[in-house]
Amino acid sequence: MDKLATRLPSLTTILWILASLIAFGAFLYIAPNLLNPPSPTITPTGVVTATPRATPTALATDTPIPVAPPPRTRALEPTATAPADAQAYNFISDPTRSGYLKAGETKTHWGDRNLHAGFFGDATYRSLLYFEVAQLPPNSEILSAELTLTGLGRDNLGARGDWRAELIRVPAFQDWNDLTPDELLAATLVSGIGGALAPADLNAGAQNQFVFAGDQLPALAALIGQENFVLVRLVGPEGPDNSLFTWDAGGLDLKNGAHPILRIVARPGNFVIVTNTPTAENVITAAALAVRETDFARAYGTPTPFPRGIATATPIILVTKEPTAENVETRVAIAQRATAVALTTGTYTPTPENWVQVTATFTPLPTRTPLVIPVSTLYARLTPTAPPINTPTTRELLTKPLPDFLRGMLLVVTDRFKGKDIAVMRPDGTITQGLTGDEYYKLAFAREPFSPDRRYRAIVAPDDREILQIWIEDQTNGARRLITHLARGIAYDPVWSPDGGRIAYVSRETGSDEIYVYDLASETSTQITRGGNAFIYKQRPTWSPDDSQIAFKANDGTLNFQIWLMNADGSNLRNISGSASNDTDPVWVK
């Protein structure tokens, strides 16, 4: 027993061992916290939680993306201050007509939140921004302009390339909404906007500015002088490496997102108010003046249309400028109301659809009660039942033969010879000769609205709402049948096809002069031109002898009318005049 006791450790030894084990365990527990102390928890005081930012659409590719450089902080240029005699205009891009385009696709991505620009997955991406600028008066002196965009995502951004903003113009007589992505990608470049941005300048949530240089402002002013809208194209690198950046389009709800903004500082211009004819003192004088102007127009063609900066007003209607609309629906409603006012108070010369802004320098004439003549009364006066002495009747014009050498030719009114002359034009646009008088032109023109058997005539007359519509009038008993049912605008210039089955006419129901074809068998109308611009006129259609083509006069935004030709379905549209003069009012001799 004594021997066993001497082999066992003493109580003191056991206690030391236990103490050592406890100390070692405590060290294992405390040491990690000593080496890596946890970050202190900070209680927020008055900090506002940011709204989650929209993320760009993910684009899949098997090709690796070079690593982009880290974004750098780039100070924004100070916003230009409008002088005392100037005004700042902020235009928000229209989301229904803005979005991105992908080369090779057959659709456009209007209304999309993403504004892609660059190269990704063997395809080029670009974006288009549509700004409605009708609020800015034409003839304004533009002092400065800048485009502001907010980044949405740089996940697909590479290490190289540059990004630019460009002013573009779409082809004449084409609605840009109907153009393919490839056509829009290749639209005509008018001017650059500011300088280029590098990958380090692009970041999600950061703003980018494209500030117009001094030599770029005239191009912007020229566009605004001709159109009510401005188109901006966002361009990035075109490969071979993947590098694509995405800006925020804002989406369809104007209350959310970071919508692109075009800011223009300008001294507002004024419309040049032109009175076409003196104010008539009474109804008889007014009717006489109207008849005289109508006869002149029929014989010599209508005047050259004015650019956007010139308005005709008889009398001048003074209006005040309205505040910028908050959303697309409000802008559409304002445009529809303005169109309705313009069409119900229209004048002899087509008036640009814009507000006539009254400035401090304008002194109105003394107030007098305006003379109001109902459309039906005025139209009746414009169609006298008894022709003047020595003027051939319509029946005489229809029965008098035309010379054979004119058949198949176009007779046009032209100022190529320093006057209002009648010229003979081939369907390819070649002028073969001029005519010494207008007799043959009147003979050919008189046949245009009649059916081939001369029993029916397409006429223009107001309906019960005082809207000018197209009617078919039976020449044997005077009975009329309405063939157009416009809710707004007017219809005019009806011409009957040689085969008797269709009637071409012009309508302003969409807000611009467009050509339609009415099919008598199906009793339906089809729009065959889509200019998309209220100041590009398409008038006086005329059928080819074989019914396959339609010629008409049009203005593509310049100051000159030209003769255009297209197939009867609206395809293969082309300018056959190609001159610097005015060629108007074609009549195809059948």
Question: With 80 as the cut, is the pLDDT of residue 295 above it?
Answer: no
Average pLDDT over residues 21-45: 46
Question: With 70 as the cut, is the pLDDT of residue 249 above it?
Answer: yes
Q: What is the pLDDT of residue 342?
A: 52
Tell me the C-alpha distance between 211 and 195, whole Å. 8
Between 81-95, 162-176, 321-335, 437-451, the lowest mean confidence (pLDDT) is in 321-335
Tell me the C-alpha distance between 254 and 461, whole Å. 43
Question: With 90 as the cut, is the pLDDT of residue 320 above it?
Answer: no
Looking at per-residue pLDDT, the higher value among 329 and 457 belongs to: 457
Tell me the C-alpha distance between 89 and 323, whole Å. 11
Q: What is the pLDDT of residue 68?
A: 79
Between 19-23, 36-40, 525-529, the lowest mean confidence (pLDDT) is in 36-40
pLDDT tens digits, one per residue of 328-363: 556 555 555 555 555 544 433 343 333 343 333 333
Which token pair is 177?
A: 């909404």
Looking at per-residue pLDDT, the higher value among 295 and 78 belongs to: 78
Question: With 60 as the cut, is the pLDDT of residue 147 above it?
Answer: yes
Tell me the C-alpha distance between 575 and 563, whole Å. 6
SS (H, E, C) 21-68: HHHHHHHHHHHHHHHCCCCCCCCCCCCCCCCCCCCCCCCCCCCCCCCC
Confidence of residue 366 (pLDDT cuts 50, 70, 90): very low
**CATH fold group of domain 87-267:** Jelly Rolls (2.60.120)
Tell me the C-alpha distance between 244 and 427, whole Å. 49
Confidence of residue 264 (pLDDT cuts 50, 70, 90): very high
Question: With 80 as the cut, is the pLDDT of residue 541 above it?
Answer: yes
Top-ranked range on mean pLDDT: pick from 109-118, 143-152, 284-293:
143-152
Average pLDDT over residues 439-451: 92
Confidence of residue 79 (pLDDT cuts 50, 70, 90): confident
Top-ranked range on mean pLDDT: pick from 9-18, 301-310, 352-361:
9-18
Question: With 70 as the cut, is the pLDDT of residue 503 above it?
Answer: yes
Question: With 90 as the cut, is the pLDDT of residue 465 above it?
Answer: no
Confidence of residue 382 (pLDDT cuts 50, 70, 90): very low
Q: What is the pLDDT of residue 361?
A: 37
DSSP 260-311: -EEEEEEE----EEE-SSPPPSSHHHHHHHHHHHHHHHHHH-PPPPP-TTEE
Looking at per-residue pLDDT, the higher value among 98 and 8 belongs to: 98
| Distance set, CA 361 to CA 268, 439, 480 (Å) | 12, 49, 51
Average pLDDT over residues 428-449: 89
Largest Cα–Cα separation, the chain:
162
Three-class DSSP category at 498: coil
Confidence of residue 45 (pLDDT cuts 50, 70, 90): very low
Between 121-135, 153-167, 380-394, the lowest mean confidence (pLDDT) is in 380-394
Q: Which CATH number fits domain 395-588: 3.90.660.10, 2.60.40.10, 2.120.10.30, 1.20.200.10?
A: 2.120.10.30
Q: What is the pLDDT of residue 14?
A: 67
Question: With 80 as the cut, is the pLDDT of residue 379 above it?
Answer: no
Question: With 50 as the cut, is the pLDDT of residue 37 above it?
Answer: no
Average pLDDT over residues 60-82: 73
Average pLDDT over residues 416-442: 87
Going through 370-442 in order, the beta strands assigned E by DSSP cover: 410-414, 421-425, 431-435
pTM for the predicted model, two decimal places:
0.44
Q: What is the pLDDT of residue 70?
A: 87
Top-ranked range on mean pLDDT: pick from 31-45, 57-71, 160-174, 312-326:
160-174
Between 155-169, 299-313, 526-540, the lowest mean confidence (pLDDT) is in 299-313
Q: In percent, how much of the chain has pLDDT > 70?
A: 64
Top-ranked range on mean pLDDT: pick from 17-21, 205-209, 354-358, 414-418:
205-209
pLDDT tens digits, one per residue of 83-131: 888 899 999 998 888 999 998 888 888 888 899 999 998 899 999 999 9
Confidence of residue 375 (pLDDT cuts 50, 70, 90): very low
Cβ(308)–Cβ(138) below 8 Å: yes
Between 191-200, 346-355, 387-396, 577-586, the lowest mean confidence (pLDDT) is in 346-355
Report the amino acid identity of residue 414.
T
Q: What is the pLDDT of residue 546?
A: 94
Looking at per-residue pLDDT, the higher value among 246 and 304 belongs to: 246
Tell me the C-alpha distance between 492 and 469, whole Å. 7
- Residue 284 half-sphere exposure, CB side, CA atoms within 13 Å? 0
Q: How far from the centroid of its chain's Cα atoms is residue 267's Cα?
A: 24
Confidence of residue 39 (pLDDT cuts 50, 70, 90): very low
Average pLDDT over residues 48-54: 37
Confidence of residue 162 (pLDDT cuts 50, 70, 90): very high
Cβ(308)–Cβ(228) below 8 Å: yes
Confidence of residue 229 (pLDDT cuts 50, 70, 90): confident
Sign of dihedral through CA atoms 128, 134, 139, 141?
A: negative
Q: What is the pLDDT of residue 207?
A: 93
**Domain ranges in the chain?**
87-267, 272-344, 395-588
Report the amino acid identity of residue 567.
N
Average pLDDT, the chain: 75
pLDDT tens digits, one per residue of 401-424: 888 889 999 999 998 877 788 999
- Rounded to 5 degrees, what are φ and ψ at 351? -100, 130
Q: What is the pLDDT of residue 505?
A: 96
Question: With 50 as the cut, is the pLDDT of residue 56 above it?
Answer: yes
Q: What is the pLDDT of residue 532?
A: 61
Measured from the Cβ of residue 307, the count of other Cβ atoms closer than 10 Å reads 16
